[in-house]
Amino acid sequence: MGKSSKKNKVILAPPLPPELDDDEIVVSEDDFDFVKENPEHACSIARQDIKAFDKFVTRVADHDDEKVELLYEERERKRRAAAALKPRNDDELEVDPVDALPVKTLDGNVVYNRPAKKARSGDEANGVKSRSQDKGAGATQGSQKEPKGRSNKKEDSKLQNVQSPTEVPKENLHSVVLEEVKEELSSDELFEKKKAQLAELGMALLEDPESNIRSLNDLLILCNDMDQKIVQLGIMSLLAVFRDIIPSYRIRQLTEKELAVEVSKEVKKTRYYEYTLIRSYKAYLQKLIALEKQPYFYLVAVRCLCSLLDAAPHFNFRESLLASVVKNLSSSNDVARKLCCEAIRSLFRNEGKHRGEATIESVRLIAAHVKLHDCQLHPDSIEVCLSLKFDEDLGKDDSKEDKLKPKKNKRYQNRDVTKPSEKKKIKKEMLSKARQEVRADLRAVSFTLDPKEKKMIQRETLAALFETYFRILKHSMNTSRYKTTSVFPGGSHPLLAPCLEGLGKFSHLIDLDFMSELIACLKKLSGYTDHQGEILPDNALSVSERLQCCIVAFKVWRSNLEALNVDLQDFFVQLYNLILEYRPDRDHGEVLADALKTLLWEGKQQDMLRAAAFIKRLATFALSFGSAEAISALITLKHLLQKNTKCRNMLENDAGGGSLSSLVAKYAPEAKDPYLSGALATVLWELSLLQKHYDPSVSGMASNVLSMANLNATQNPVQLSSANPLEAYNDLSMGRELSKPAGKVLTLKCKRKRRSKEFVALSPDVLRKADCTVGEDELREKLQSHFAVLRGISENERLRTELNHTLSSINMYKEYKKQKKQSKKSRIGRKKVTRA
């Protein structure tokens, strides 16, 4: 009985905090934002808090009532002591500091939790936890610090210091008791509790980072938990906290001089805050980098790293962040790789956040990474560089400024000469000096870079980028002789494709000094050899890659205003040969179409012989491949015919081979060199067949081209479409065609409605077979056996029913006997009755 009263006491005793109306609760915007951004976080708070606390309280009440009573008394004493010590702050003390934590209820409202009971027990739980964490070193210290960390803002540390000595002995007793309590708790509850603690600490930090900055340490300690789930939750909460509290500036290490100087309290406090932040941030990063090596935490750690990089690229320790993210760019885990790529891309896109410094660092890291791994990385690790942005006007601006400056100076000088007013001059100088100072200050504060600095960064970035690209090219060249097995997609040169793409994209930024070397490189890669008429079978580059080399070479050449004195003839030869090497399923048709577009369609007037050779080859090509390839070839062909009017002779069958026949009299369809093919002497018979092409757009184009034969050299046929070869290819490619809506099949009246009795699909051979019938004997035998089976079945059935009937009749005999006996008995019985 007594026990139950004690129980009641525990539940009822805690003084309830003053009730507050919902209106009175002020929820800051930050809180809302946090809840919005981290719904899982907030939810976990909402889910766990009350339940966990309740559970804890009831459990304590259930088991060790005496101890609970002890606890209770202890608390009372403590409170009295505190009240005695701080009579002034009476009003504040009424509200337990922990109650500052808002709690999201199940229906989604954020409520300030007031019941002191819960707060208290939560407090105790924290105490238990932290003590268990840093055992030995300072069990008392941990608990001592705790209330300090979460103490009310207005309480100064002095007061705490006064309070603590009185508390120490009590705390010891306290802790012993709690230790025992703790042992009773199952791991499940521990987990729940830890979760609650995490949430609580996190909320406190978000609410007021400056005073609660020490909680970071506690959170970090939690991250060392044995429970993997807790660790995961811990690093996630820390991520949320850091994302929120990291300042928008970089924290500088204080010099000794600065440390030596006396500073005000405020500054000290800030310094302490920054110092703690930096230290725990560092510890957190180290933890993350360590965890990243464990498979269980890999994804979470990578996610955290990427998120941090995205949120705080300007902050300290960016280098280690970047290093691990770049390392994971080539991860074999698709999700992690995607995350890292996205993080790096956002880094490139939002240069304002970090003044471009992170960009150059990451590009350099990538370069180092590529070097380290000998170009055997996932293509994605290079592909991210495609999102780099370079200001194209930078170079021009510079030169303009240079040009403008002397002019100004001159004018200045002139003015100076005309108006040599000393006073004014001094005034002006002072003004400009002041202006400069202001500007320097502004620059230091804001993130805008001055063009020079920016240019410098960009130049460095470009240098690192092209270094990577060239390394890859060189590597591809050197290893093309032997095959390496690679785990990454893209054959033995996984990086080549994105590298070529990047070169194409940034071709206008390539230094002219590199140009000739680059072109030579590309030439070699595209498979060109000095020995004519031999294709290297061990050339590991695919047709698409080789085509891409040609395309890049042309793009580079063209984007540098074609000023380069480079002979690109070899690339034409390459293309001429590669057209024959194309295989629809193996190679990418778009690349070929792109090559046709870049090399032939966009080019200026071609050499006549070369144009003729290409025209003939393209026509032949169109005959052997699908409609998309055919149309891109035909468009190119038409373009060539328009540009080279003399080649129109090929459209006509000029008896005698034509007056323009070249040195080679006979056409060699397999020739390696366009100049030696003798194509000019041929007739484009292919077009007559292409007119019968099943695809109406191809056949239409073929007739369109053929119609050029009847026109003057200056006239051009009606333009069917203005699409370039690549567009036309994509338009007709199967994927696109299937995505178009299906054309409805028209139903028309037929000429002949009904067919007479002749057979159309079956061969007479088969029909003859149908008429041969089975021999009479066989038929007889089969029919008879059929009958016999049927008879057998019916006979069997008949017999069976008969047998069953007989059997049951026999069985009835027993029944009959029984009945007989019964009737006898009853008769006897009746007799007895009558006798009686």
Partner 1 sequence: MAKKLGKKARKFANKHLQGGAKRSRKLRSQFNRRTRKDGKGREDGGRLDGDGDEEMRRSEPTMNTQEDVATLANSLEFPEDENEFDGDLSDSDGYLSEDPECPHYSDSEDGDVVKDCIVKDGLDGQNNEMNLAVKKQKKKLKKLLDKDPEFANFLGKWESELVSHESDEDSDEQDEMDSGDDGVDAGDKNPPSDKILTSKTISEWCQLVSKDPKAPALRNLLNAFRDACRFGLHSNSLSTQRLQSTEVFYQIITFILSEADNIFRSLLDIPDDDKGKLMNLRNGQKWQDVEPLIKSYLRNCLDLLSQLTDNQILTNVLTRLRASAVYFSAYPSTSRRLLKILVHFWASGDQSLSLSSFLMIREVVSLLPDCLDLCLTKGYNTYLSSSKLVDNRNIKNIDLFMNCLVELYSLDVQKSSERAATSVGQLSAILRQVSKSKEKEDLLKIDNWQYINCINLWVRFICVNYKDCHNVHSLLSSVAQIIRGVAYLLPGMRYLPLRLKLAQMLNELLNCNQMFFPVPSLIFGCLEFREIFQKEQTEKTNIHFSSLLKVPRNLLKSRDFQEQCILSAIEVLSAHFAQWSYHVAFPEVATIPLILLKRLHEQTTIDSLHRPLKRLIDQVSENRDFVQRKREVVSFSPNDMSSVESFLEDEKMSGNASFTQYYESVSKNRQSRGRKFV
Residues 763-822 that bind partner 1 (CB under 8 A): 766-767, 769-774, 778-800, 802-803, 806-807, 809-810, 812-813, 816, 819-820
CA distance linking residue 574 with residue 535, whole number of Å: 11
Q: What is the DSSP string of 495-534?
A: THHHHHHHHHHTGGGS-HHHHHHHHHHHHHHTT--SSTT-
**Residue 437 contacts residue 463 (beta carbons within 8 Å):** no
Choose which of 297, 554, 601, 621 interacts with partner 1 (CB under 8 A). 621
| Smallest separation (angstroms) from partner 1 to the CB of 299 | 24
Applying CB under 8 A, the site for partner 1 has a residue count of 104
**Residue 632 contacts residue 726 (beta carbons within 8 Å):** yes
409 C-beta neighbours (distance < 10 Å), count: 11
Place of tokens 């699908």: 626
Stretch that binds partner 1, among 171-179, 200-208, 317-325, 762-770 (CB under 8 A): 762-770
Place of tokens 């936890």: 129
CA distance linking residue 381 with residue 369, whole number of Å: 9
In the complex with partner 1, the residue whose CB is nearer, 252 or 805, is: 805
Could you say whether residue 84 binds partner 1 (CB under 8 A)? no
Could you say whether residue 825 binds partner 1 (CB under 8 A)? no
Could you say whether residue 700 binds partner 1 (CB under 8 A)? no
CA distance linking residue 196 with residue 98, whole number of Å: 13
Quick note: the x/- pattern for partner 1 over 574-593, rule CB under 8 A, is: ------x--xxxx-------
Choose which of 692, 714, 719, 833 interacts with partner 1 (CB under 8 A). 692
The single-letter DSSP state of residue 15 is P
Could you say whether residue 623 binds partner 1 (CB under 8 A)? yes
In the complex with partner 1, the residue whose CB is nearer, 254 or 793, is: 793
3-state class (DSSP) for residue 616: helix
Beta bridge partners of 102: 112
Quick note: the x/- pattern for partner 1 over 174-213, rule CB under 8 A, is: ----------------------------------------
CA distance linking residue 548 with residue 554, whole number of Å: 10
| Smallest separation (angstroms) from partner 1 to the CB of 534 | 13
| Smallest separation (angstroms) from partner 1 to the CB of 759 | 6
In the complex with partner 1, the residue whose CB is nearer, 490 or 626, is: 626
State the amino acid at position 190 in one-letter form.
L
Could you say whether residue 752 binds partner 1 (CB under 8 A)? yes
Burial 207-234 (b: 16+ CB within 10 A, else e): bebebbbbbbbbbbbbbebeeeebbbbb
CA distance linking residue 43 with residue 701, whole number of Å: 64
| Smallest separation (angstroms) from partner 1 to the CB of 751 | 6
In the complex with partner 1, the residue whose CB is nearer, 443 or 818, is: 818
| Smallest separation (angstroms) from partner 1 to the CB of 709 | 5
Q: Return the residues of window 701-740 that contact partner 1 according to CB under 8 A.
A: 703, 706-707, 709-710, 734-735, 737-739
Choose which of 340, 690, 701, 726 interacts with partner 1 (CB under 8 A). 690
Could you say whether residue 413 binds partner 1 (CB under 8 A)? no
In the complex with partner 1, the residue whose CB is nearer, 100 or 709, is: 709
State the amino acid at position 18 in one-letter form.
P
Q: Report phi then psi at 442, rounded to 5.
A: -60, -45
The single-letter DSSP state of residue 650 is G
CA distance linking residue 145 with residue 704, whole number of Å: 88
Choose which of 741, 765, 833, 834 interacts with partner 1 (CB under 8 A). 741
| Smallest separation (angstroms) from partner 1 to the CB of 357 | 42
Beta bridge partners of 111: 103
| Smallest separation (angstroms) from partner 1 to the CB of 14 | 60
Could you say whether residue 829 binds partner 1 (CB under 8 A)? no
| Smallest separation (angstroms) from partner 1 to the CB of 702 | 9
What is the C-alpha radius of gyration for the chain, rounded to an integer number of angstroms?
45
473 burial type by CB count under 10 A (0-12 exposed, 13-18 middle, 19+ buried): buried
| Smallest separation (angstroms) from partner 1 to the CB of 736 | 10
In the complex with partner 1, the residue whose CB is nearer, 54 or 802, is: 802
In the complex with partner 1, the residue whose CB is nearer, 512 or 772, is: 772
Choose which of 633, 687, 701, 728 interacts with partner 1 (CB under 8 A). 687
| Smallest separation (angstroms) from partner 1 to the CB of 480 | 19
Single out the residue of 531, 572, 527, 533 nearest to residue 546, CA to CA. Answer: 527
Phi-psi label, residue 521: left if phi above 0, alpha if psi -120 to 50, beta otherwise: alpha
| Smallest separation (angstroms) from partner 1 to the CB of 310 | 32
Quick note: the x/- pattern for partner 1 over 629-658, rule CB under 8 A, is: xx--------------------xxx-x---
Could you say whether residue 683 binds partner 1 (CB under 8 A)? yes
Place of tokens 């030579």: 520
The single-letter DSSP state of residue 111 is E
Could you say whether residue 750 binds partner 1 (CB under 8 A)? yes
Structure tokens that stand for 76 in this block? 């009372």
Burial 50-64 (b: 16+ CB within 10 A, else e): bebbebbbebbbeeb
In the complex with partner 1, the residue whose CB is nearer, 425 or 820, is: 820
C-alpha distance across the termini of the chain, in Å? 73
